[in-house]
Structure 1
């Protein structure tokens, strides 16, 4: 991003604007700093012209972008002309505020977007496009008249996408950038290197992509072709230019000194210990670190030189996180280096390592940024800290006089699931909802006014270990990235969850226009059936986020804003079909849900509908077969304790239990914690599914798994449960002679004995 943008956002310019709540008739997101609704509307149609000053190339470029977005959303493209009458036109003028700030005046007679810099013109155009795109309808639109004065709260408004674990297409990344730009995010942090793969072409070291860009995933996936890919330097430059045209700076990340298995596999001399290429398909915290030889720094200098030739960003991210020091501790050569340098320990050695890398960046006029572990052992004066382990790193950095970006786990880690609905995509099992992201304040109260000047901004991270497809990545990123965008842009006094929720239907419509697949599950009715009285079944239809209201029908018709509103559990007869959908101010939000009341459905639970016995490391993860990611089963499991509970099962007459199960590799780098995972020994060669009354109670069944181990996909096993008085909690787990592979539940059916 331009230095002027930082200076403006952190200087007097942003505070010069008055603040005010966003008017109810406007649907701009992020909410602007000041908006006053006026009388009337501006009719935007195919006859509308966008006028720029003759010879203003930048303004013309913004005008063409606005015209193209209007074409995508409304179906017509306004003409862009240099000079001409302002009446009835959209006029772009430089007679406005500096930096990323803009003024937008909309009236029945025309529209003016005023900004001194291209960034401001672009953001004024994005606000106008949003007002012209309240839905997915085509044709002319009446844009509400308003006077808007706007500027960002923070200069760094970022989203990180991890392409090291799973490679996204260039078109997908462009769609993400489009969605970022439309919502005034301006920094795309591109995670290109990790243990699982090296994703950027480096011409001097071709093995980084020829070898380190590919891996064999473990388990059944090992029989499939190698997985991976990379971006050529031409592709990276194409994306850089695409982003820059949308006021987005791409900040590349080249991990050091840890998360380095992939490059060490390609060039073993870089490592402290011999690499194991078979572990590139694992997840977790790896022990492989770069060594501290001069040849290694020469390699990094060469790599970063090519990186800086591609990415003009003032910041280059060097990682620095999760560098487990075991290999350094065990290496006589490294220990001798620590002594030679007069350092205290391995933490100070990492600091020396990072600072030496930073010197290479400084020679090219670039600034080093890294995760908050770079604070350990001392930090170069011009280094910037990205705080991920909560906000403590940001507080420490700011108090020490370092610039910082807040990016704390878990709130801004978008690999966490967004609701408890079983329809959520794969990811981590902790719930970080859209509302949780919106509630995050990027300005810690622990900092003084002067210390807060070191907060450059805020960023959310999309780590893709469990996002195997582009669509899953987008669903995990959006719409939560939009909530982050509002907290990064809008003045704190004007932040309002209720108003943000009111604008959600328009936001979701725009994402569709931009080609982004958002997650709609948290807005949708989550049908839950339970036994009722008199042979009826009760149906609950609560939407996880509680946004808007749920409306439903029982006559087979599509629910509308005029359908009955859901007010509580419905008592329904078997065979009834219920259709339900959420609405906000009469506008549909999320998909329609259809459920047929069926007593048999009460007898089945998926792993996501069961209760986990523990939640040490809960994951929503997929099976390792078949080959296509989107055709694999999904499991909800605590990898440290694969155990599930079905509460309140009626065993008064005994029952027959049928379980659909899968086996997946334990490909998690968890260090010594692996030794603490306990397994019950099997009584048969294939192991058993154990069923207990409570996890510490009586074992009522041990169902042999038989030949299931030979099936790389899903298998089914069945057995009988004895009669027990009253309702009981069934605890389900597996016996196994080894942790890898380990067994997981897909779904369980318990039918009363005839």
Structure 2
């Protein structure tokens, strides 16, 4: 980020900003920023003699989770009691207010106690805010005296994790849930099935994980790098037992997060059909089992050359990305297969929503299948798009009969939207706008602003391999989930916002965290605050630095962001003056302005400096710099052009 100011203006702004930053660093560095906050005189001292008064079982559970974070950050735990005592305390009071949401809370801090009131969810969020208000000076922990009244703008604040492309361990998912809860996210969309892997145990169909959870090899590099593909030859896979899935659901629920499972249909089904090909739609009419026995492999699962895989060679689950032609058939046996799966899914996941995908479903096999074409005629359908709508509507009816709601990607609009479906708008906002105008609920997750698998720098050579695109922190922060194209009434159908972590190119937990943070902190503000009160400069100057330092302490492998580079002009000499402010508190910056690569042999930044004078043939110069955090983490090399 580059700013340009005159010398006198920047000096005045620096002094003002420095004072504001000092106040905010002590008092206001909460993410997401609370709706209302009033500072008061004094501080509350927190130590091991402070106790937490919690009457309800859920409040005590929330207090225990508070203690877990307190221990990680500061090495102490507070006693929890259901009996009120005469000593400094954190008092948790369950109350209800008909004018507030069930996530609202009131937080009051004075010199002798901390009071948090609200619903059980509100109390949990009030405790997260309390954690972020803590400052440590010479080993002493304090919270500023403050009054906070807070509630979220959106009821749906989500992050999607794709485990179909790459599998993540239970402990890694729990760590992600902890961080989501700390920043007040309340939905984890868990993408459990894909062409490249089926990740959830289904007891009635064991081959889904025996066969569908494993691929023998994975392509190297990006999808378009090689023709033909080059594979790594390494078996990859894994799945979650139903017990492990229940464990994650409970772990998240204790942290006020609902886990929404996604079972992809009718497309993105190669892994499932590798295990049970009889439920697929075939390129040729009719399906004849070999020797009267079910096939062991999928005769319709195609490799990159359009050739069928042979499961006897153990290669049925594809190891390359992209949109695959495989699709479920429309036979009654297939619908029974899917309903059986969904019954087990609903038994594991209490979420009111079940996500069924519905995206990127090529219909070529339906076009040549006599079974599909006969059903189109029988149901008076216009084409294969309406056949997909028929498919989705049948699944939705089944879910509704079991008191669940269907969510799908915006392709479920094609051919007509199922009656009660909620739409996730990912191909921009167009689908979400169309659905809201039809009075359907919408979750905004456009790939332009919410695809966290995208690159974080314009110069992609400085970044680890990603799927493409460019999504910097600032662009995430400025997203507004309620499109102006909608009326006020239609905007009420925008339930919230979600970021998506697709993992074709994210194979490790470190890389997952690199893509997620700090962009998730910007998203937390979008989801909690809405668009009216956001201020990116205040966010990066006053609140982000402390939280990034905290992430480092929690051993989160976040991406070290670009510093704020300010270029001013000295009025006397006309020369450029350069100031560099890293966003990670306490970092060192090493820089060059002579064209050489920046590393720790370069200039250590100690304060504003004059840019070298350029010659008549040199109209600009390039500032290159790296940031070294207090824990020794090194950023990518960043550069700014100075003209």
Distance change >3 Å, CA 233–CA 541, structure 1 → 2:
farther
Q: CA deviation at 1:493?
A: 2.2
Runs of 4+ in 1 over 6 A off after TM superposition: 540-550, 553-560, 587-590
Alpha-carbon distance between aligned partners in 1 of 2:375 and 2:138, rounded to the nearest angstrom = 67
Give the structure 1 partner of residue 348 of structure 2: 310
Give the structure 1 partner of residue 305 of structure 2: none
Residue 375 (str. 1) matches residue 413 (str. 2): yes
Q: SS of the residue aligned with 2:469?
A: strand
Question: Does the 8 A contact of 1:93 with 1:114 survive in 2?
Answer: yes
Give the structure 1 partner of residue 37 of structure 2: 35
How do 1:652-731 and structure 2 match up within 5 A? none
Alpha-carbon distance between aligned partners in 2 of 1:512 and 1:187, rounded to the nearest angstrom = 24
Alpha-carbon distance between aligned partners in 2 of 1:293 and 1:77, rounded to the nearest angstrom = 58
Alpha-carbon distance between aligned partners in 2 of 1:482 and 1:287, rounded to the nearest angstrom = 37
Which among 430, 433, 445 is matched to residue 472 of structure 2?
Answer: 433
Alpha-carbon distance between aligned partners in 2 of 1:403 and 1:541, rounded to the nearest angstrom = 47
Alpha-carbon distance between aligned partners in 2 of 1:29 and 1:485, rounded to the nearest angstrom = 7
Distance change >3 Å, CA 284–CA 89, structure 1 → 2:
same
Give the structure 2 partner of residue 141 of structure 1: 141
Which among 120, 125, 128 is matched to residue 126 of structure 1?
Answer: 128
Question: Does the 8 A contact of 1:166 with 1:468 survive in 2?
Answer: yes
Give the structure 1 partner of residue 525 of structure 2: 486
Question: Does the 8 A contact of 1:556 with 1:579 survive in 2?
Answer: no
Give the structure 2 partner of residue 477 of structure 1: 516
Could you say which structure has the higher strand fraction?
Answer: 1
Alpha-carbon distance between aligned partners in 2 of 1:243 and 1:323, rounded to the nearest angstrom = 31
Question: Does the 8 A contact of 1:126 with 1:182 survive in 2?
Answer: yes
How do 1:269-348 and structure 2 match up within 5 A? 269-273=278-282, 274-276=300-302, 277=309, 278=315, 280-348=318-386
Residue 384 (str. 1) matches residue 384 (str. 2): no
How do 1:393-408 and structure 2 match up within 5 A? 393-408=431-446
Which among 507, 513, 535 is matched to residue 547 of structure 2?
Answer: 507
Alpha-carbon distance between aligned partners in 1 of 2:86 and 2:482, rounded to the nearest angstrom = 42
Give the structure 1 partner of residue 107 of structure 2: 104
Question: Does the 8 A contact of 1:26 with 1:131 survive in 2?
Answer: yes
Alpha-carbon distance between aligned partners in 1 of 2:584 and 2:554, rounded to the nearest angstrom = 26
Q: What are the Cα deviations for residues 697-750 of structure 1, in whole angstroms up to 9, with x where unaligned?
A: xxxxxxxxxxxxxxxxxxxxxxxxxxxxxxxxxxxxxxxxxxxxxxxxxxxxxx
Distance change >3 Å, CA 267–CA 593, structure 1 → 2:
closer
Question: Does the 8 A contact of 1:75 with 1:138 survive in 2?
Answer: no
Distance change >3 Å, CA 415–CA 280, structure 1 → 2:
same
Distance change >3 Å, CA 256–CA 501, structure 1 → 2:
same
Alpha-carbon distance between aligned partners in 2 of 1:297 and 1:229, rounded to the nearest angstrom = 26
Q: CA deviation at 1:284?
A: 0.9
Q: SS of the residue aligned with 2:190?
A: strand
Alpha-carbon distance between aligned partners in 2 of 1:559 and 1:257, rounded to the nearest angstrom = 57
Distance change >3 Å, CA 593–CA 72, structure 1 → 2:
closer
Q: What are the Cα deviations for residues 69-90 of structure 1, in whole angstroms up to 9, with x where unaligned?
A: 1111111111111222365211
Q: CA deviation at 1:147?
A: 0.6
Question: Does the 8 A contact of 1:420 with 1:431 survive in 2?
Answer: yes
Distance change >3 Å, CA 514–CA 311, structure 1 → 2:
farther
CA RMSD of aligned residues (A): 3.2
Question: Does the 8 A contact of 2:263 with 2:357 survive in 1?
Answer: yes
Alpha-carbon distance between aligned partners in 1 of 2:404 and 2:22, rounded to the nearest angstrom = 38
Q: CA deviation at 1:546?
A: 12
Give the structure 2 partner of residue 691 of structure 1: none
Q: What are the Cα deviations for residues 348-371 of structure 1, in whole angstroms up to 9, with x where unaligned?
A: 000000010111111210000000
Q: SS of the residue aligned with 1:299?
A: helix
Q: Unaligned 5+ residue runs, structure 2?
A: 1-20, 221-229, 283-299, 303-308, 310-314, 566-577, 593-598, 615-622
Structure 1 length normalisation: TM-score? 0.68
Question: Does the 8 A contact of 2:548 with 2:584 survive in 1?
Answer: no
Alpha-carbon distance between aligned partners in 1 of 2:82 and 2:129, rounded to the nearest angstrom = 22
Give the structure 1 partner of residue 178 of structure 2: 178
Question: Does the 8 A contact of 1:557 with 1:579 survive in 2?
Answer: no
Q: Which moved more, 1:480-489 or 1:219-228?
A: 219-228
Give the structure 2 partner of residue 457 of structure 1: 496
Q: SS of the residue aligned with 1:234?
A: helix
Q: SS of the residue aligned with 2:263?
A: strand
- Higher RCO, Cα 8 Å, sep 6+: 2
Q: What are the Cα deviations for residues 203-260 of structure 1, in whole angstroms up to 9, with x where unaligned?
A: 1101101101111225687573421111111110000000000000000000010111
What is the aligned residue count? 548
Distance change >3 Å, CA 219–CA 557, structure 1 → 2:
closer
